[in-house]
Amino acid sequence: MKTIVVTGGAGFIGSHICERLILDGHRVISLDSYFTGLQDNHVPGVEYRCGHTKDIAKLVRETPDLIYHLGEYARAEVSLNEAALVWDLNIIGTRAVLDFWRDKKCKLVYAGSSITLADNGHTDGRSPYAQSKAVNAGLVRDYHARYSLPYAIAYLYNAYGPRERAGKYGTVIEIFHQRVLCNMPLTVTSPGTQRRNFTHVDDLVEGLTLIGEKGEGDDFALGAEDSYSILEVARLFGGPIEMKPAVGGNRMNSNLEAEKSRQLGWRATRRLEDYIRTVAAPTRPEAVA
């Protein structure tokens, strides 16, 4: 049994990794500010601590064997109007997590973002979120080099699945799902041809577990091989589509190089079409057959 800290453990992906770690017999401590996390996501057996990651040293006195750092702000377009919040959660908070990692001398798995790899890596300055993720991945590498700390960086590609959120800080699959349930048109940001590798949360958890056990270093991409444009996804759901003006912070392509993850034995096995069929077809017969 290991003692494992999961930041953002009451969030969408965090709650799923907590669930897996408990099933594997570990002691799991979640640190979450509940900015987007929910008490409804609590998993029996997990020890929940409420607080900002900048206070991790005060809130987690234990010495863990492993840290999964998922507790960051995670919306690119919205971040254009919330730069100070991104700085607080992703820069100040993450720096404290890295100092905690240095002091405890355990292993860190940092949840990087596919946005830093998109468009051939030219997205750093397009949004405060993208910039913060690129900066933090660099800081993880710096701490490793400076203090000889064990680490791995996993780049997560567009999660979907149970416990996904809609609303301001939601992700596109659940936003479309909720609009389907309300019989509303699906709103697509122009041009609609921007592509994403949508990856089921269960596949991401499988990858994160393997990386926590065996992964060392950078460049562990966790993404489904098939990519879809946002317009293609909307058409899979069926029903009317409403185009919105283009906004800053968007990215057009989603570069996926998952060879290093495959070397650990990981590959995404769930298909987006199957998931959409289960959530959309009962409401809209014209959804994917």
| pLDDT greater than 70 at residue 284 | no
Share of the chain above pLDDT 90, in %: 85
Q: How far apart are the first and last CA of the chain?
A: 45
Confidence bin at 7 (pLDDT 50/70/90): very high
Taking residues 172-187, report their average pLDDT.
Answer: 94
Which has the closest alpha carbon to 8: 27, 26, 34? 34
User: Residue 289 — pLDDT band, cuts 50, 70, 90?
Assistant: very low
The residue type at 164: E
pLDDT at 120: 54
Residue 35: is its pLDDT beyond 60? yes
Q: Which of 197, 163, 179, 223 is nearest to 37 (CA)?
A: 163
pTM of this prediction? 0.93
Domains for the chain: give ranges and CATH numbers.
3-161+199-224+255-269 (3.40.50.720)
Instruction: Kindly report, residue by residue over 189-220, the tens digit of the pLDDT.
Output: 999 999 999 999 999 999 999 999 999 999 99
Q: Which of 65, 114, 64, 87 shows the shortest CA–CA distance to 261?
A: 114
Vertex 151: Cα angle to 213 and 256 (nearest 5): 85
Instruction: Show the CA angle centred on residue 262, arms to residues 258 and 264, nearest 5°.
Output: 130
* Average model confidence (pLDDT) across the chain: 92
Average pLDDT, integer, range 138-149: 97
Q: What's the pLDDT at 45?
A: 98
In this structure, what DSSP letter does residue 24 have? T
